[in-house]
Amino acid sequence: MYVITENCICCGACVPECPVEAISEGNEVYLIDEEMCTDCGTCVESCPVEAIEERD
């Protein structure tokens, strides 16, 4: 499971990279929908500030 941390700068770079559209804009940072996410990791590669982490 991937999560977006508080290090997110809300640049939106990850949104178009998600093949299942699991990322959306939250109140303070972007959010990944756990049920939609396929754990492909594409978003991690697109984040310029390394704000996306894999968690158990």
Q: What is the pLDDT of residue 56?
A: 82
Q: What is the DSSP letter of 55?
A: -
Pairwise CA distance, residues 56 & 46, whole Å: 21
Domains and their CATH numbers in the chain: 2-54 (3.30.70.20)
Distance linking the first and last C-alpha atoms of the chain:
6
Q: What is the pLDDT of residues 13-53, one digit of tens each?
A: 999 999 999 999 999 999 999 999 999 999 999 999 999 99
Pairwise CA distance, residues 47 & 56, whole Å: 20
pTM over 0.85: yes
